[in-house]
């Protein structure tokens, strides 16, 4: 039982004893640094249960807890907040728990409480870019956090391998590619195919301008551009199984898949299963036919099929075009249904997709409910903000994107330049330096993106992300490496120590208080699908350690027991940093 669980029981008992009133929930928060105390009980929420002065309520509960809970040795009440002072013995018990458990804060995953997290889900007409990087890092980190919170997790993605966008790249390659391949050009397959997506857009815009010069309106020119009409015809041929179109589609997609895997490996993310739109859209179409019979969908005069959601406060949503071809909604319906067939133990699904698709997922979840799937209530859209650059918004069709592979290389180069300037890696071999630059650069990228609440937009600045000071990945990595240096210098034997009579220094207690928060941070991060909570906990922990390091001698302490305790405490901090960063997909170097 955790301290909060124990305190909650005692506070509920206090309500029964003092006021003859049951209390449902108790709210805690960390005590503000300008007040004495180690954990704070919020009494305002209790006023819904009992009408009385919140300060008096705090006094009553503080007195009761002091008398009935051994760990509580003092209290004070500030404007209705009850700040509890905990005993050194409590913190020493916590210290022993942390030291004895290398995965302190992690809960063993349940075999019957499974979640599925979808992320990445790229189109096969372009390479992964900075926006995909945020998506992948968020999805991977949320998966690891959910796992650490006690869930069984399946990582998955849906690859958008069909549709008009794919046909655009295919058609441009047919026209202008001269049969070039990744092998003949030396380009990764996803980059090669992406170049032809850009080429299509260039030709398309030229044709639009030509049609406008002949008197057509902008909308008419966009709809009647020959290259677009040819791409639309190719899509119809693909869905009808035309052998030549399907063969080209398979070849170009294979190039892209090979390229994606290289990027995923470099980024440090992985998946347990893959779904393909080309395989799930047919299942979606079959359920649309069933929905037509049951009245969930309606067919219009032109043959297109829609779902009327106006009574639910939304609008009408197309699910099949007039020519019978599927839209994104079609395959998303099929994919969701297929996943629950494949993984019947899944209790909920998280879709990691940018906030420009908020409306799409409202519609998807509502349609699945109307189709009679009760599990639709357990679907969540992890909506995240876009990543901006100082130069503005990225546009794939115009080729103005930050390529993920290039970004990873650039981050290592930036880490190299800053490390050389600061002299951080003197004495390293060239291979050691190279690996450390990668670790620092990738850690900087991941931390910069994940420390921000997913809902917020990010203005990405590579140079600022690799700063060795402040709330950055390299700053936290450097603190971890500093602790490893302390541990290497230490010659004391620390196994079996209990420190029952040890008197805690204020800085030691503050550090233990921060460590104590880690299990709750994991649970909150899982509940909110927010790696930012873990990232910023790591930063706060590092700040506490650095304050401890600057004010308290570790290896030069006066007594052997102080040295032994502080070495073990430092080790516990390092282990927690490493574990927290593992939830963010970030490695920590042993030396820096």
From its phi and psi, is residue 163 left (phi > 0), alpha (psi between -120 and 50) or beta? left
- Whether residue 413 is predicted with pLDDT greater than 80 in this model: the reply is yes
**Is pLDDT of 80 > 50?**
yes
Listed residue (538, 535, 554, 521) closest to 141, CA to CA: 535
* pTM of the predicted model as reported, rounded to 2 decimal places: 0.90
Residue with tokens 């302390």: 486
Token match 């069909």: residue?
162
- CA angle, 438 as apex, 433 and 439 as ends, to 5°? 95
Q: How confident is the model at residue 396 (pLDDT cuts 50, 70, 90)?
A: very low
pLDDT digits (tens, 9 = 90+) for 235-250: 999 989 999 999 999 9
- In contact, 582 and 570? CB cutoff 8 Å: no
Residue 493 is predicted with a pLDDT of 66
| 169, 173, 176, 182 alpha-carbon torsion, rounded to 10° | 120
CA distance 375 to 556: 60
Q: Contact 528/565 with Cβ under 8 angstroms?
A: no
Rounded mean pLDDT, 13-39: 93
Residue with tokens 């100082």: 390
Judged against a pLDDT cut of 90, whether residue 353 lies above it is answered with yes
Token couple for 59: 């006094």
Question: In this structure, what DSSP letter does residue 301 have?
Answer: T
pLDDT band at residue 496 using 50, 70 and 90 as cut-offs:
low
pLDDT bracket for residue 315 (50, 70, 90): very high
Q: In the prediction, which pLDDT does 382 show?
A: 98
Structural domains present in the chain = 3-86 (3.30.1360.70), 119-398 (3.40.50.620), 409-583 (1.10.730.10)
Mean pLDDT calculated for residue range 331-351: 96
pLDDT digits (tens, 9 = 90+) for 133-149: 999 999 999 999 999 99
pLDDT at 466: 83
Residues 266-300: pLDDT tens digits?
999 999 999 999 999 999 999 999 999 999 999 99
Q: What is the pLDDT of residue 394?
A: 42
Beta strand extents in 269-361 (DSSP E only)? 273-276, 298-299, 305-308, 316-320, 346-354
Residue 91 has a CB neighbour count (10 Å cut-off) of 21
Q: pLDDT at position 455, please?
A: 95
Cα separation, 39 vs 27, whole angstroms = 11
pLDDT at 491: 77
Evaluate the CA torsion angle 526, 530, 531, 534 in order and state its sign. Answer: negative
- Distance from CA of residue 574 to its chain's centroid? 23
- Please report, for residues 279, 366, 378, the alpha-carbon distance to residue 289 in angstroms, rounded to integers and kept in the order given: 17, 17, 25
Contact between 563 and 486 under an 8 Å Cβ cutoff? The reply is no
Cα–Cα distance between 302 and 307 in angstroms, integer?
15
Mean pLDDT of the 85-105 span: 91
d(CA 519, CA 516): 7
Any residues with CB less than 8 A from the CB of 73 and at least 6 apart, and which? 66, 85, 86, 87
**What pLDDT does residue 500 have?**
63
Average pLDDT, the chain: 92
Q: Taking a C-beta distance cutoff of 8 angstroms, is the pair 118, 346 a contact?
A: no
In 10 A of CB 311, how many CB atoms? 6
Helices (H), 451-559: 462-465, 473-489, 506-516, 518-528, 531-551
3-state secondary structure of 387: strand
- Two tokens, residue 31: 């005590």
């Amino acid at each position: 039982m955790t301290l909060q669980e124990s305190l909650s029981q005692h506070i509920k008992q206090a309500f029964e004893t003092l006021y003859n009133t049951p209390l449902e929930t108790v709210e805690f928060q960390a005590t503000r640094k300008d007040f004495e105390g180690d954990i704070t009980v919020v009494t305002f929420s209790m006023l819904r249960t009992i009408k009385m002065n919140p300060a008096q309520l705090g006094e009553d509960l503080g007195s009761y807890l002091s008398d009935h809970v051994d760990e509580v040795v003092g209290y004070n009440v500030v404007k209705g907040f009850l700040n509890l002072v905990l005993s050194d013995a409590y913190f020493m018990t916590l210290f022993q728990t942390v030291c004895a458990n290398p995965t302190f804060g992690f809960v063993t995953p349940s075999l019957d409480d499974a979640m599925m997290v979808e992320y990445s889900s790229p189109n096969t007409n372009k390479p992964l870019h900075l926006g995909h990087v945020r998506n992948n890092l968020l999805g991977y980190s949320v998966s690891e956090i959910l796992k650490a919170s006690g869930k069984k997790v399946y990582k998955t993605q849906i690859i958008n391998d069909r549709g008009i966008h794919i046909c655009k790249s295919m058609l441009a390659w047919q026209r202008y590619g001269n049969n070039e391949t990744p092998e003949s050009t030396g380009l990764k397959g996803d980059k090669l195919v992406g170049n032809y997506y850009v080429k299509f857009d260039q030709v398309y815009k030229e044709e639009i301008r030509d049609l406008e010069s002949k008197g057509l309106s902008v909308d008419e020119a966009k709809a009647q551009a020959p290259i677009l009409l040819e791409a639309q015809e190719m899509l119809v041929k693909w869905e009808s199984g035309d052998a030549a179109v399907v063969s080209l589609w398979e070849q170009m997609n294979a190039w892209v898949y090979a390229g994606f895997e290289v990027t995923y490996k470099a980024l440090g993310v992985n998946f347990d299963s893959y779904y393909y739109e080309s395989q799930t859209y047919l299942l979606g179409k079959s359920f649309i036919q069933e929905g037509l019979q049951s009245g969930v969908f309606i067919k219009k005069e032109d043959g297109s099929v829609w779902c009327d959601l106006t009574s639910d406060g939304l609008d009408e949503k197309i699910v099949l075009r007039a020519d019978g071809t599927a839209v994104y909604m079609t395959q998303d319906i099929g994919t969701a249904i297929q996943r629950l067939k494949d993984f019947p133990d899944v209790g909920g699904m998280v879709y990691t997709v940018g906030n420009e698709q908020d409306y799409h997922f409202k519609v998807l979840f509502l349609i699945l409910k109307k189709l009679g799937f009760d599990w639709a209530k357990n679907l969540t859209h992890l909506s995240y903000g876009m990543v901006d650059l100082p130069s503005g918004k990225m546009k794939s069709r115009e080729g103005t994107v930050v390529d993920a592979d290039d970004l990873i290389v650039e981050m290592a180069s930036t880490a190299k330049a800053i490390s050389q300037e600061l002299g951080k890696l003197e004495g390293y071999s060239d291979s050691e330096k190279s690996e450390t630059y990668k670790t620092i650069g990738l850690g900087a990228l991941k931390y910069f993106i994940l420390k921000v609440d997913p809902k917020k937009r990010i203005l990405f600045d590579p140079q600022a992300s690799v700063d060795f000071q402040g709330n950055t990945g390299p700053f936290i990595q450097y603190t971890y490496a500093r602790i490893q240096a302390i541990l290497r210098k230490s010659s004391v034997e620390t196994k079996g120590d209990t420190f029952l009579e040890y008197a805690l220094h204020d800085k030691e207690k503050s550090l233990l208080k921060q460590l104590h928060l880690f299990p709750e941070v994991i649970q909150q991060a899982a509940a909110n699908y927010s790696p930012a909570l873990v990232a910023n906990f790591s930063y706060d922990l590092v700040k506490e350690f650095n304050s401890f390091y600057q004010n308290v001698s570790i290896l030069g302490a006066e007594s052997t027991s102080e040295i032994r305790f502080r070495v073990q405490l430092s080790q516990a901090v390092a282990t927690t940093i490493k574990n927290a960063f593992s939830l963010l997909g970030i490695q920590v170097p042993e030396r820096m």
